[in-house]
Amino acid sequence: MREITYEQAANEAIQEEFRKNPRTVHLSTDLAADLQKEFGADRIRVTPIAENNFVGAAIGLAGSGFRTVCNLRMATFGFVAMDQMMNHAAKITYMFGGQAKFPILIRMTVGAGFSGAAEHSISPYSMFMNVPGLKILLPTTPYDVKGLLKTALRDNNPVISFENFLIGKVTGEVPEDEYLVPLGKACVRRKGSDVTVVALARMVYEALQAAEELSKQGISVEVIDPRTLVPLDRETILKSVRKTGRLVVVDEACQTCGAAAEIMALTTADRGAFEKLKSAPARVCGLDIPIPFSPPMEKFALPDQAKVIKAIKAVLRQDRPRV
C-alpha cells in the first residue's frame, strides 16, 4: 500500500469532501495553495489574522447552510478564538433548541518538544472537553487523520481536530480507496496482557516504543489510542483494564484536570474495572508548568518513552497483595 505523510492525508480528506459538496468553505490565515488551485479563491479563502472573527464567520456560514473548515494553525492561536468556540459554536445547537445545524471543522496543532516556548507549546484539549457541544479529535496516524477528518466533514456539529505538531511529517499506509474512521472508536495499537496504557496524541508513539522495549523484558503492554476524546470510547478502555488490571495514562498535556485525569476517573469509577485493579493507576503527563524553551528543561517537562517505562514498572511493583 502507498505511504503518505500525515499532512498529505489530512489534505486528501478535505479535497475529497470538498469535491462532493460545493457548499464548503475553507478559512485560514495561511494560503492553502493546493486547495485553492482546485477549488478557487471563493471557497478557499485567506483570512485576516483574526481567528475569533473567522471562527465566528464559520458559525454564520453554518447557520446559512454552508460547511466550513477553519485552520487555526496552532492551539495557541485557538485561544484567540475562544469566545466564538466556547460561547457560541459549542452552545448554539443546544441554545436554539436544535433548530439549526452547525457543521464546522476547526483544526489546530498541539504539543511541545520543538522549543516553541510556553505560548506555542500546549495541548489544551481537556479545556474543550469541559465544554459540552463540541466533538474532539486527536488523530495520531496518517490513516486516522484522513478517516477522522472525512467523518468530521460529514458531521453536522462543531468538531475540533487537535493534531500534534511533530507528527505532520510522519508517514504511514493510507489506502487509495475511500474509507472513514468513526468517531468514538478507540484503536488498540498493540495487544498486551500485563498493563493497559492509554496514550494520547504523540504519546502513542512513545508508549509503543516503551511497550516494545518492555516486551524484551517479558512485560506485555496493551496500548490504546482513543483517537477521539469526545465522544470517548470508554468501553474499549474499560474492557482492557478489566483484562490487565493495571492502568497507565500517558499525555503530554499538563496533568491537572487533564484528559488523563478523566480517563483514570472513568476507570476507577467503573465497578468492574475497579475490582480488577491490582495496583493504583498512574499518570505520565506533562509537568504543571509553562513549557520552557531550552531543550534540557523542555525534555524534563515532557513525558517520553523512559518515563513511561518507569511508570509501568512502578505500577507492576505496587500490585496489591492478593486476597
Partner 1 sequence: MDLSRKTLIDLYTTMLKIRRFEERVVREVYAGNVPGFVHSYIGEEAIAAGVCVHLGKEDRIVSHHRGHGHCIAKGADMKRMMAEIYGKKTGYCKGKGGSMHIADFSIGMLGADGIVGAGLPIATGAALAAQLEGKGKIAAIFFGDGACQEGEFHEALNLASIWKLPLLFVCENNHYGVNTSAQYSLGAGEITRMPEAYHIASKVIYGNDVELVYRTAKEAIARLREGQGPFFLECQTYRWHKHYLSEALEDLRPTEELEAWKKKCPVAAFERSLLARRVLTPAKIKAIDRRILEQVEEAHDFALASPYPQPQDALADIYSL
Chain residues binding partner 1 by CB under 8 A are: 25, 42-43, 45, 47-48, 50, 52-66, 68, 83-84, 87-88, 92-102, 132-133, 135, 156-157
Q: Are 180 and 152 in contact (CB under 8 A)?
A: no
Contact 81, 55 (CB under 8 A): yes
283-321 burial, b for 16+ CB within 10 Å, e for fewer? Answer: bbbbeeeebbeeeeebeebbbbbebbbebbeebbeeeee
Using alpha carbons only, how large is the chain's radius of gyration in Å? 20
Alpha helices per DSSP H over 64-202:
75-78, 82, 92-95, 117-120, 125-129, 142-152
Residues in CB range of 271: below 8 A, 6 or more apart: none
Residue 56: CB minimum distance to partner 1, A? 2
User: Would you call 120 a catalytic residue per the annotation?
Assistant: yes
**Residue of 43, 88, 120, 246 with catalytic role:** 120
Residue 316 CA to chain centroid, in angstroms? 28
Q: Considering the complex, state which of residue 88 and residue 202 has its C-beta at the smaller distance from partner 1.
A: 88
Min dist. Cβ of residue 53 to partner 1 (A): 4
Mention every residue, 6+ apart, whose C-beta is less than 8 A from residue 164. 109, 110, 111, 140, 201, 202
Query: Angle, nearest 10°, between helix axes 234-244 and 259-268?
Result: 60
**Most distant CA pair in the chain, distance:** 69
* Residue whose CB is less far from partner 1, 102 or 205: 102
- Cell 504543571 belongs to 288
- Closest separation in Å from C-beta 45 to partner 1: 8
47 versus 268: smaller Cβ distance to partner 1: 47
Q: Of 225 and 233, which has the nearer Cβ to partner 1?
A: 233
Q: How far is the CB of 253 from partner 1 (least distance, A)?
A: 24
Q: Between residues 68 and 244, which has the closer beta carbon with respect to partner 1? A: 68
CB of 59 to partner 1, least distance (A): 5
- Pick between residue 63 and residue 168 the one whose CB is nearest to partner 1: 63
Q: Quick check: helix, strand or coil at residue 223? A: strand
- Report, in Å, the least distance between residue 170 CB and partner 1: 31
Which residues are CB-contacts of 160 (< 8 A; sequence separation ≥ 6)?
85, 106, 107, 108, 125, 128, 134, 135, 136, 137
- Half-sphere exposure of residue 50: CA atoms within 13 angstroms, side-chain side: 8
- The span from the first CA to the last CA of the chain, in angstroms, equals 51
Which residues carry out catalysis? 120
